[in-house]
A and B are shown apart, each in its own frame.
Chain A
Amino acid sequence: MMDEYVLIACSALVLIGMTSAILHRDPFDKLISLSILIAGIFPFIIDRGYLDVAAATALIAPLSTIFILYVCRRQIA
């Protein structure tokens, strides 16, 4: 079970990712910050026992990142 230290650490991950995603200008830095945010929400899903939801989310969230990467791909001269 999740006690208060792990809860504070995962909340800190979510808040760090959110603040960093707001403040950065480069789209790659924004994607890295979103990845921190998604990493922070997984222990909360696991703690309630929704293991199938966590497995599905872990496979769907990188797909959304890859689709955003197609948009912000560098133009190769």
Chain B
Amino acid sequence: MIALYVCAGIAVYAAIRIIAERNTMRKLPFLNVVSFAVTGIIALLLPHPLTILAAAAYFVGSTLESNAIASTWSGGIKK
């Protein structure tokens, strides 16, 4: 149960760090931290075989999302 609390605390702390940060590029690593912590919460919350499938789907989806935001923000290849 203590692992669940640690994951929840990390998620809230990283969300507060995202709000407090001014630069958009520095927000994105903390967005990844929120995604990893929520993946931990999902995997620890319910003892069921399908939970790991949902956690893996969320992990893949959130990593794809934050990397898409980062690559679009940085503007692609400079010509």
Q: How far is the CB of B29 from chain A (nearest CB, A)?
A: 11
C-alpha spacing A29/B48, complex, angstroms? 35
Interchain Cβ contacts within 8 Å, total number: 131
Residue count of chain A within 8 Å CB distance of chain B? 41
A51 and B68 in contact (CB under 8 A), knowing A39-B38, A42-B58? no
Closest to B45 in A: A46
Q: Is the CB of B18 within 8 A of A43?
A: no
Residues of B with C-beta under 8 A to A52: 50, 54
For the complex, give the distance between the alpha carbons of A60 and B69 in Å.
Answer: 16
Kindly state the separation between the CA atoms of A1 and B41 in the bound complex, as whole angstroms.
11
Those of A21-58 within 8 Å (CB) of chain B: 26, 28-29, 31-33, 35-36, 39-40, 42-43, 46-47, 49, 51-52, 54-55, 58
Interface of A is mostly: helix
Report which B residues bind A (CB closer than 8 A). 4-5, 8-9, 11-12, 15-16, 18-19, 24, 27-28, 31, 34-35, 38, 41-42, 45-46, 48, 50-51, 53-54, 57-58, 60-62, 64-66, 68-69, 72-73, 75-76, 78-79
